[in-house]
Amino acid sequence: MFDDRSPIYQQIADKIKKDILYGDLSAGDQVMSTNQYASFYRINPATAAKAFQQLTDEGYLYKRRGIGMFVSDDAQAQLRQQRREHFFADVVAPMVAEAKAIGITLDEIIHHLTNKDGTPGESRD
């Protein structure tokens, strides 16, 4: 599960965020404890705790004292909004800039994206 590209705690946090975003974890669901996570993935409990603390600080998880950690009610909506913002900034904006630089119109892009057979369409200009 873990790679060398980023810290393990960040990879844990990212996986839990992905699970929330894709609906594998829903609002109110309990997540594994830090000790369960540490045991299951054979990592230091402090590493798992750091991931859970980050997710709590970001508002995706909340703690019920003596019971465990749970997915926040608005976690999925928050993650979707955040991912939408990143999508437009990191994917769409550079694509549009590249398209303009090479002379592709917005109409051509829209036509290409909406063409049912998946092949590039002709411009409607």
Cα 71 to Cα 10, 22, 46, 89, 91: the distances in Å are 17, 13, 20, 27, 28
Q: What is the mean pLDDT of residues 2-28?
A: 92
- Asked if the structure places residue 125 within a domain, the reply is no
Q: Residue 122 pLDDT more than 60? A: no
CATH number of residue 23's parent domain: 1.10.10.10
Q: Residue 123 and residue 112: Cα distance in Å, rounded?
A: 9
- Asked if the structure places residue 92 within a domain, the reply is yes
Q: pLDDT tens-digit profile of 79-117?
A: 999 999 999 999 999 999 999 999 999 899 889 888 866
Give the pLDDT confidence score for residue 120 in this predicted structure.
53
Q: Which domain range does residue 23 map to?
A: 8-73
Model pTM? 0.77
Q: Residue 54 and residue 56: Cα distance in Å, rounded?
A: 5
Q: Residue 47 pLDDT more than 80? A: yes
pLDDT band at 125 (very low <50, low <70, confident <90, very high): very low
Cα 97 to Cα 13, 40, 107: the distances in Å are 32, 45, 14
- Asked if the structure places residue 123 within a domain, the reply is no
